[in-house]
Amino acid sequence: YYFPCQRWLAVEEDDGQIVRELVPVDEAFVKKGSENDGQSLATLGLEQKDKSTTYTVKVKTGDKKNAGTDANVFITLYGSNDDTGIVSLKASKINKNKFERGKIDEFTVESVDIGDLKKIKIGHDNKGNSTGWFLEWVEIDAPSLGQCLRFPCGRWLDKSEDDGAIERIIFPAKLQTREYIPFVPYEITVYTSDVFGAGTDADVFIVLYGSDGICTRQKSLCLNKREQRMYFERNSVNQFIVELEDVGDMIEKIRIGHKGGGLNSGWHLDRVAIRRLLPNGK
């Protein structure tokens, strides 16, 4: 069995997760990669994405005295087919200090496809100086399912408050569920030219256009400033797997650019290659 990863397991890198679920791939992909000095391992991107789902998890800490917590918070998502196992919520995309009074934190959770989301379990390890936590709600957006679900809580997770529980099972509020057209993964490969000063440290974005005026939202290809400095160097090839609105079988044009700023923002772009994962997994 071959389990390619090609991803960071680091709080400060990628999506901030330090545990990953990997699915096996066909041996032919790995052999093909070794024959080409490992370069074609990157082409596994869409094949791996086909078997996984990315969730955006927003967590609202209540606006009460001592509502915030310094404990380590974890979550488990339960679906119709499987569950994610325990996922530590370590890297908030919004706040350096997580789970503070009245604040919303955002996390990325990626796992093997677990089916339709049915419930969650969220809790903490009760370690640290201030451990008690008042959880207002959890919101989970699953672009590949086309659903955004709200899980209301409004209770303490505190050994000295409420019923003393420090973990709770919560079900979604059906009336607060938003549904939209599911997103699909696109594999976007960007080739920077081999000319002097070709690279950029700017925030590069892309928009895809299909027929009948359908287009995706504007999507930044890098997750943070460190990636901006690392990617789009002279004569480099960088590949990204991004979930975007499905623009259909034909991509009529793209809009790609950057937001300027910084010392080295000018960019000489050679070409862009795009692969789309079709709804039936092809």
| pLDDT exceeds cutoff 70 at 173 | yes
2.60.60.20, 2.40.50.140, 3.90.105.10, 3.30.2130.10: CATH of 2-38+182-276: 2.60.60.20
Residue 272 identity (one-letter amino acid): V
Q: What is the pLDDT of residues 175-224, one digit of tens each?
A: 999 998 889 889 899 999 999 999 999 999 999 999 888 999 999 998 88
Average pLDDT over residues 72-84: 93
- Class of domain 53-179 (CATH, top level): mainly beta
Q: In what order do the strands lie in the sheet with 237-245?
A: 237-245, 183-192, 269-276
CA–CA dist 246, 216 (Å, integer): 8
Strand partners, 184: 244
Which residues make up the CATH 2.60.60.20 domain(s) of the chain?
2-38+182-276, 53-179
Question: Pick the residue with more confidence: 75 or 32?
Answer: 75
Tell me how far apart the terminal alpha carbons of the chain are, to the nearest angstrom. Answer: 22
41: confidence class by pLDDT, cuts 50, 70, 90: low
Please state whether beta strands 167-170 and 204-209 pair in parallel, antiparallel, or not at all (unpaired).
unpaired
| pLDDT exceeds cutoff 90 at 252 | yes
Residues with Cβ within 8 Å of 95's Cβ and at least 6 positions away in sequence, in order, are 103, 105
Q: Which of 3-17, 79-93, 128-142 has the lowest mean pLDDT?
A: 3-17
CA–CA dist 208, 187 (Å, integer): 12
Q: What is the pLDDT of residues 159-171, one digit of tens each?
A: 998 898 999 999 9
Strand partners, 282: none
Can you give the pTM of this predicted structure?
Answer: 0.79
CA neighbor of 5 nearest in space, from 76, 19, 115, 236: 19
Please state whether beta strands 183-192 and 237-245 pair in parallel, antiparallel, or not at all (unpaired).
antiparallel
Q: Give the per-residue pLDDT at 208.
A: 96
